[in-house]
Amino acid sequence: MNLPGGLRAPPALSRRNFLQGSGVLLGGCLLTPATVWAATPTLAFDFRGGLPPGVSYQRASPASLADGVQLRILPVDAPRFPRRSGAPLGLLIEGAASNLIVNASRPDGPGWAVGGGVTVTAANEPAPDGSRTAFRLGRPEPKSGSLGEATVTHVDTGDFASASVWLRSLAGSGTWRLRLLDFATFNNANAVVEVGPEWRRYSLTLNLQARDTGVKRFAVLWNEPFAALTAAPAIYALKPATPYLPGRTPLTLGSVLVWGAQYEAGNEASSFIATSGQVGQRAADEVTFPAAPLNATAGRLTVVLPDGGRRGGVILDAAGDAGGLRLEYSNSGWLVGRVGRVTVAGFTDVTADPVVRLEWSAAGVQLFSGATTTSLVRRAALSANPLPITGGVRARLGMLTDGQRPLGRVVAQLTLDGEVAAVARVPLPSFVPTGYRLVFGDDFDDPDLGRINENATGGRPGAPAWRSRYRHERRTAINQEKQIYMDPRFTGSTKQPLGVQPFAIAGGSLQIRAERADPEKLSPYIWNRAYTSGCITSELTHWQTYGYFEMRARLPRGKGFWPAFWLLPKRATWPPEIDVFEASGTRPYAIKHGAIERPRVATSAAGMWIDGIIDSSDGFHIYGLEWTRDNIVFFIDGSKSFEYGPHGIHEDMYLLANLALGSHDPNWIPNPDQTTPFPGLYEIDYIRAYQRGAS
């Protein structure tokens, strides 16, 4: 039987799942002979032996390939097939990119600067591409201003920028420091790296904020002196695995060879783009195939990515926004499938998994991922009919059909057949520590909004009453916030209820809604406040000393939004305060944890922004806090993210959730402006409080 793509299926293997059976493990991913297929698969592409029939490829520029051998430049329209240990991995698919460092391999040229005694000399040593164009960068003893850096002008429009460089030691191995900096705000990323006698590429990624509009400076040597640490650093258990060392590790190398610096938009470095006096550009890899098979009424799509996926990257798109099909990653690394009228998403970062699968039928849509096809884990499922599917004419691999959101990874194999599993429910993960019992909570399944009011009246077990304001009067502004917290019965400066409802319960979630106040019909009656919003507190219904507290929520993105989940003391005093989390709509990739007490007892930092872990706006994340007599430990999606202690907070505290707007400090929470996407929605799936002890 001849299959699409020119492959032949052996009759003896008619019921075997493609990618199963005899195979080899390469890079943690099961790869199998291209002759082992399922029964009549609709699509069967193997990219390890070249470009399979049925797949179209083009790229409008040359592009580099570094796969453990000498870096090579491939011509226009030449696909890139990396190898590992001599074996082909598959097809590399990248998006369009620009290198804004105009003299990438000439640190002695325009755009570069050195200071503090740093030396730059031609080394006459082989570079990664085989040319003798490497330079030697020498450092003096640490002192202020001692660095070697490239400067670029980049008005950033995205969320991230990345910088990369090749380094090699001339004598053994040792440590070296890099830094990427916005010179206007001093927002920066820096790391100490271990440099050895072989060329290796190192990179930094900077999470950009709206105010980061200054020039960017990429220091391939940052030699600032540091005082020794006197306390253990904060916990970064959630951060992606990194080979880099703590930022205050002493530097041990006196010089290194440097070559091929690159600055580009995006959350990670892409393949090297050479420059010589001007910005360098690389066109996108355009990989397409006929989309008609993806319109099937039932399908099992399996894709093998030997190096895993990428946060925010798209694996495949066939008119995914117009009733077709799309398989992608969220910005938090969750697998997302769009099939016809249905979208389903997981709730775990699976970008490390080399095998991903999307299944659909009239019964529903499911997502799977894992190390091999025989060990796939169901990540999400939704029992909803997605049909019909209208995937357009061509499907595109590795990015959206318009070239955005590139995967930037190697694709080894892709198959489509019709063998789908029964749709099964995927329960939410449980992160509650052992030994705790639920003592208070709201899953917001009861749509009664009347229980959110001035005096927290009403409610029932499982659907408690909440107070709709802080302890102080509504018109009292704290932190120079620009909103006023409302409920429908609030009269403002009038004698009649204003009827503003900032709350809604839909689909089992509470929405706290921030809006612009009508400047004529509303603002004059709320003391000229420009915005309305909502808060809920358990001040009159529940308080406790110690325990585990948890919220599952999706947070708003946009200038001025300041959502929080926190604890305050039952007695009328401040501090103490414990912030399970605070967030900023302009920093969706960061969450702040912390605590405030006086006198301060803890030896740890009082609080910290944890960057680069999740996108708080791309789905419902779980935020947890365990408060014991000795320590306060914070969690994001079940993983420890920060710890405060030992502490002196030993009294009853109640819960608060609110959506503020603006603040006294634009560097902390800027005020809303015309770009702010109102309404702002703080969506809460549940709030729960636990205490130790038997039920």
Higher-scoring residue by pLDDT: 352, 250: 352
Predicted local distance difference test score (pLDDT) of residue 158: 77
User: Per-residue pLDDT averaged across 480-509, rounded?
Assistant: 96
Residues 575 and 473 in one domain: yes
How far apart (Å, rounded) are the C-alpha atoms in residues 605 and 683? 29
User: Per-residue pLDDT averaged across 213-219, rounded?
Assistant: 90
User: Per-residue pLDDT averaged across 358-362, rounded?
Assistant: 98
Domain limits at 535?
438-692
Predicted local distance difference test score (pLDDT) of residue 602: 79
Higher-scoring residue by pLDDT: 440, 86: 440
Predicted local distance difference test score (pLDDT) of residue 246: 64
pLDDT tens sequence across 155-189: 666 789 999 999 999 989 999 999 999 988 888 89
179: amino acid identity, one letter: R
Q: Which among 282, 315, 339 is the end of a domain?
A: 282
User: Per-residue pLDDT averaged across 232-244, rounded?
Assistant: 46
For position 15, which CATH number holds?
2.60.120
Higher-scoring residue by pLDDT: 462, 540: 540
pLDDT tens sequence across 515-524: 999 999 999 9
**Least confident residue range of 204-208, 347-351, 525-529, 604-608:** 604-608
Residues 370 and 486 in one domain: no
User: Per-residue pLDDT averaged across 126-154, rounded?
Assistant: 87
**Distance, first Cα to last Cα, the chain:** 63
* pTM of the complete model: 0.90
Band of the pLDDT at 681, cuts 50, 70, 90? very high
Predicted local distance difference test score (pLDDT) of residue 146: 78
Predicted local distance difference test score (pLDDT) of residue 155: 62
User: Per-residue pLDDT averaged across 63-80, rounded?
Assistant: 92
Predicted local distance difference test score (pLDDT) of residue 535: 98
Residues 537 and 605 in one domain: yes
Location of structure tokens 């710890």? 643
Residues 267 and 364 in one domain: no
For the chain, the average pLDDT equals: 89
Establish if 302 belongs to a structural domain.
yes
Residues 311 and 199 in one domain: no
Residues 215 and 346 in one domain: no
340: amino acid identity, one letter: G
pLDDT tens sequence across 4-46: 333 333 222 222 222 322 233 333 334 443 333 445 789 999 9
Predicted local distance difference test score (pLDDT) of residue 69: 65
Evaluate if residue 238 carries a pLDDT over 50: no
Establish if 682 belongs to a structural domain.
yes
Residues 147 and 158 in one domain: yes
Establish if 606 belongs to a structural domain.
yes
Residues 306 and 339 in one domain: yes
Predicted local distance difference test score (pLDDT) of residue 225: 65
* Percent of the chain predicted with pLDDT > 90: 78
Predicted local distance difference test score (pLDDT) of residue 3: 33
Predicted local distance difference test score (pLDDT) of residue 224: 74
**Least confident residue range of 67-71, 73-77, 296-300:** 67-71
Residues 277 and 301 in one domain: no
User: Per-residue pLDDT averaged across 148-156, rounded?
Assistant: 81
Residues 130 and 252 in one domain: yes
Predicted local distance difference test score (pLDDT) of residue 247: 62
Predicted local distance difference test score (pLDDT) of residue 234: 38
Establish if 579 belongs to a structural domain.
yes
Residues 150 and 164 in one domain: yes
Buried (b) or exposed (e) across 653-678, using 16+ Cβ within 10 A?
bbbbbbbbbbbeeeeebbbbeeebeb
**Least confident residue range of 250-254, 266-270, 324-328, 677-681:** 250-254
Question: Do 625 and 634 touch, CB atoms closer than 8 A?
Answer: yes
Location of structure tokens 């330079």? 135
Residue 631: C-alpha distances to residues 316, 575, 688 (Å): 45, 17, 20
Q: Which among 282, 312, 328 is the end of a domain?
A: 282
How far apart (Å, rounded) are the C-alpha atoms in residues 500 and 497? 8
Predicted local distance difference test score (pLDDT) of residue 250: 82
**DSSP letter at 483?**
E
Higher-scoring residue by pLDDT: 90, 23: 90
Instruction: Count the neighbouring beta carbons within 10 Å of the beta carbon of residue 132.
Output: 10
For position 115, which CATH number holds?
2.60.120.260
Establish if 648 belongs to a structural domain.
yes
Evaluate if residue 240 carries a pLDDT over 50: no
DSSP of 552-620, one letter per residue? EEE---STTEEEEEEEEESSS----EEEEEE--TT-TTEEEEEEE-SS---SS-SEEEEESS--TTSS-
* Percent of the chain predicted with pLDDT > 70: 89
Q: Is the dihedral of CA 168, 169, 174, 179 positive or negative?
A: negative
Query: How many degrees, rounded to 5, is the angle at CA 65 between CA 149 and CA 412?
Result: 130
Encoded tokens for 381: 């499922």
Establish if 71 belongs to a structural domain.
no
For position 499, which CATH number holds?
2.60.120.200
How far from chain centre, in Å, is Cα 614?
4
Q: Which among 282, 317, 339 is the end of a domain?
A: 282
Residues 604 and 527 in one domain: yes
Establish if 587 belongs to a structural domain.
yes
Establish if 425 belongs to a structural domain.
no
User: Per-residue pLDDT averaged across 592-604, rounded?
Assistant: 88
Encoded tokens for 268: 């990670």
Predicted local distance difference test score (pLDDT) of residue 142: 72
Evaluate if residue 233 carries a pLDDT over 80: no
553: amino acid identity, one letter: A
Q: How many distinct structural domains can be found in the chain?
A: 3
Evaluate if residue 451 carries a pLDDT over 70: yes
Most confident of 127-141, 219-233, 675-689: 675-689
Predicted local distance difference test score (pLDDT) of residue 4: 33
Evaluate if residue 236 carries a pLDDT over 60: no
